[in-house]
Amino acid sequence: MSEDMEFLLAMVLSGASIGLMYSLIALGFVLVYKATDAINFAQGEFVMLAGLILVAVLGFEGAPLIAAIVVVLAAMIGFGFGLERIVLRPLLGRPVVAVIMATIGLAAIIRGLGPVIFGKEVRSVALPIGDDPIVLGPANLPPIQVLGAVVAIAFFLGFTWFFKKSRMGVAMRAVADSQQVAQAMGINVERYFALAWAMAGVVSALGGIVWGAMLGVDVQLALVGLKVFPVVILGGLDSVGGALVGGLIIGIVESLAAGYLDPYVGGGTKDFAPYVLMILMLMIRPYGIFGRRQIERV
């Protein structure tokens, strides 16, 4: 393979792996939107919170990693339940702006009080996966990214099965489609809302663990949340598969932009490209590749 082709392949693989890491975060967003129609601007902060809890637990002498992971999962599930109860239930039926601002406010709270409660210094997470890059053809992938990709794909498979085949998943989809009819059929809507947020908590917990291991945990971890939007717009706000595909596309596009466009423009297209892609998508097919044709066109 010629060197240029090798480089291209390496860029694509690198972009794909980071893209799947983005999908991991986007999944949390999609879960919430799919089940409850709520838009979570605080997804990045959830991931950060999970990371903070993780390193706080690991900070205790001799705490095994497994215990820490269990604590994080439990904490994030509890957080999801609590959040739904206290903040989101009163906001049911309110205009979109209200929920968006509520999650923005929530993001500010977590970002402000998280370091105060858990400590502000950067802490790294040591996962037992080694540091040597995994070689995949011409590409060297950091093992943590491979782990993240595996987790994302596992979630994708798991949630696809859940929503298609399991009783609870079908019930959740019914609730998302039409709350009133679901209630008429005897489905406890409130319980399913809580469940959706709890599931999002689980995804955030794993996202926090993986991203925390990759970047180290501190306040800035929340910034990954901004990447969510291009991914879900591309993939469809309520599609689990879309989150995966959207993440892959965004990751690869970013990578190629950095590699091939940057030299001409003096840098920075990596940031720029996903948003341009997103706008194009919004103009042509706003509900994304896999989303449902549900939004009101003017």
Partner 1 sequence: MTRFGKSVLGIAATTAVLAVGGAQAFAQSKEVVFGLQCDRTGPTAPVGTVLCPGYQDYIALVNSKGGVEGYKIKVLEIDNEYKVPPAMEAHERFNKEGAVVEFVYGTPQAAALGKKLEEDKILGTTPGFGTSAAADGKRFPYIFPIAASYWSQAGAAVEFVKEKLGTLKGKKIAYLFYDNPAGKEPLAVLEELAKSEGFELRTFAVPAPGLEMGAQVLDITGRFKPDFIIAHLFGRSPSVSIKELKGKGYPLSKVISLVWGSAEADIIAAGGMGIAEGYNTLQFAGVGKDFPVLKEIEAMYKAQGKPAPKEMDSTVYYNRGVLSAALHVEAVRNAIKAKGGAAPTGEDVKKGMESIKGFTLGGFVPPMELSPTDHEGGGWVQIWTVKGGKLVKVKDWFQGYRPVIQKQVAADASKS
Partner 2 sequence: MFHRESGVFKTTYAADMALYPLPIAKWTVIALAALFVLIIPLTVHEYYLSILNLIFIAIVGALGLNILVGYTGQISIGHGAFMSVGAYTAANLAVRLGLPFWLTLPAGGLMAALIGVIVGMPSLRIKGLYLAIATLAGQLIIEWTINHVPAISGGAQASIEVDRPSLFGFSFATQGHLYFFLLFFAVLAIVATLNLVRSRIGRAFVAVRDQDIAAEIIGINIYRYKLLAFAISSFYAGVCGVLYTYYFGIANYEQFQLVVSIDYLAMIIIGGLGSVLGSILGAIFVTLLPIAIRIFMEDVGALFFSSAEMANVISGLRLGVFGGLIIFFLIVEPEGLNRLWRNIRSYFRVWPFSY
Name the CA radius of gyration of the chain, rounded.
Answer: 19
DSSP string spanning 186-220? Answer: T--HHHHHHHHHHHHHHHHHHHHHHHHHHH-BSGG
Note whether 224 binds partner 2 by CB under 8 A. no
Strand partners, 140: 135
Note whether 249 binds partner 2 by CB under 8 A. no
The length of the chain in residues reads 298
Distance, CA of 46 to CA of 79 (rounded, Å): 9
- Nearer to partner 1 (CB atom), residue 124 or residue 160: 124
Segment 14 to 43, residues that bind partner 2, using CB under 8 A: 39
Residue 97 contact among partner 2, partner 1, none, beta carbon within 5 to 8 Å by kind: partner 2
Distance, CA of 5 to CA of 203 (rounded, Å): 36
Chain position carrying tokens 């920075």: 268
Smallest gap, in angstroms, from Cβ of residue 290 to partner 2? 16
Strand partners, 141: 134
Q: For the window 76-115, what string marks contact with partner 1 as x by the rule CB under 8 A?
A: -----------------------------------xx--x
Cβ proximity of 193 and 242 under 8 Å: no
Segment 119 to 158, residues that bind partner 1, using CB under 8 A: 120-124, 131, 133, 140, 142
| 134 phi/psi in degrees, rounded to 5 | -85, 130
- Nearer to partner 2 (CB atom), residue 6 or residue 271: 271
- Exactly one of 62, 93, 128, 266 binds partner 2 (CB under 8 A); that residue is 266
Residue 142 contact among partner 2, partner 1, none, beta carbon within 5 to 8 Å by kind: partner 1
Strands 134-136, 139-141: pairing is: antiparallel
Q: Which residues 6+ apart lie within 8 Å of 72 measured at CB?
A: 50, 53, 54, 57, 205, 208, 209
Query: Per CB under 8 A, which region of 178-186, 195-203, 217-225, 280-288 contacts partner 1?
Result: 217-225
Residue 296 contact among partner 1, partner 2, none, beta carbon within 5 to 8 Å by kind: partner 2
- Nearer to partner 2 (CB atom), residue 119 or residue 241: 119
Q: How far is CA 19 from CA 14, 188, 240, 253, in A?
A: 8, 36, 14, 9
> What is the contact surface with partner 1 in residues (CB under 8 A)?
6-7, 10-11, 14-15, 17-18, 111-112, 115, 120-124, 131, 133, 140, 142, 214-216, 218-220, 223-224, 254-259, 262-263, 266-268, 270-272
